[in-house]
Structure 1
Amino acid sequence: MTDEERSYVYWALSDAFVDTEVDYEAIARQTEDYDREEVKRMLYHEVAPVCHSNLETVIPMIWSAFNLENLKADINKTIEERRKSYFRRKKDNLLIRWLEFRYKYIWVEISRCYRS
């Protein structure tokens, strides 16, 4: 997957964290050409840690779509911070486990929409 493709997969997955009705079929269509396990990993390890707080606020900041450039920059910053810090990796590992539990339904819905 190229960096550009990765960015668009991030952007597609981020749609699950906006304050509107989520179109899981659209997310599945936009990500179905890629390895599903990698897409799932990207969802919980890269996208959800950056985007989940939008769903956890009383009045979410993002209603319709995340900004692609900001999203990519925020994810890259998070990945770089993990790479540099042992403690950040451990903290994020706990966060990721919680996100996999809390937002399990997101992957269930996306994977249900994939064509076999």
Structure 2
Amino acid sequence: MTKQQRADVRWALSDAFVDNEVDYAAIARRTREFDRDEVKRILFEEVAPVCHSNLGSTLPTIWLCFNRQELEDDIEKMLGAKENSWLKRKANALLVTWLKSRYKYIWTEIEKQYQNIS
């Protein structure tokens, strides 16, 4: 996966964290050409750690879409911090475990849509 393709996958997956009706079919169409295990990993290890707080907030600030460049910058910053700090790696691992449980339904919905377009 190229850097641009990864950015496109992240952008598509971020749609699951907006405070609006989620178009899981569109997310699946935009990510279907990539390895599903990698898409799932990107969802929970790259996108969800940055975007999940929008869904957890009483008055979500993002209801239509995230800013694409800010999303990329935030994900790269988070990944860099994790790479440079043992403590951040451990904290992130705990967060990802929680995110996989809390937002399992997102991946379930995307997988259903993969089956519909295959």
TM interval, short-chain normalised: over 0.9
- Unpaired runs of at least 5, structure 1: none
The answer as to 2:47 corresponding to 1:36 is no
Correspondence for 2:83: 83
The 2-side partners of 1:66 and 1:108 are apart by 22
> Which letter maps to 1:85?
S
Correspondence for 2:18: 18
Paired-residue identity, %: 56
Deviation at 1:75, TM superposition (A): 0.2
The answer as to 2:103 corresponding to 1:103 is yes
The 2-side partners of 1:81 and 1:111 are apart by 30
Deviation at 1:66, TM superposition (A): 0.5
The 1-side partners of 2:64 and 2:78 are apart by 23
Detail structure 1 runs of 4+ shifted over 2 Å in the superposition.
Answer: none
Correspondence for 2:7: 7
Q: Aligned-pair RMSD on alpha carbons?
A: 0.5
The answer as to 2:48 corresponding to 1:48 is yes
- Unpaired runs of at least 5, structure 2: none
> Which letter maps to 2:84?
K
| TM-score, length-scaled by structure 1 | 0.98
The 2-side partners of 1:2 and 1:72 are apart by 14
| TM-score, length-scaled by structure 2 | 0.97
The 2-side partners of 1:57 and 1:27 are apart by 23
Equivalences, count? 116
The 2-side partners of 1:58 and 1:112 are apart by 28
Correspondence for 1:93: 93
Output one character per residue of 1:28-86: Cα deviation in whole Å (capped at 9) or x when no partner: 00000000000000000000000000001111010100111000000000000000000
The 1-side partners of 2:5 and 2:59 are apart by 31
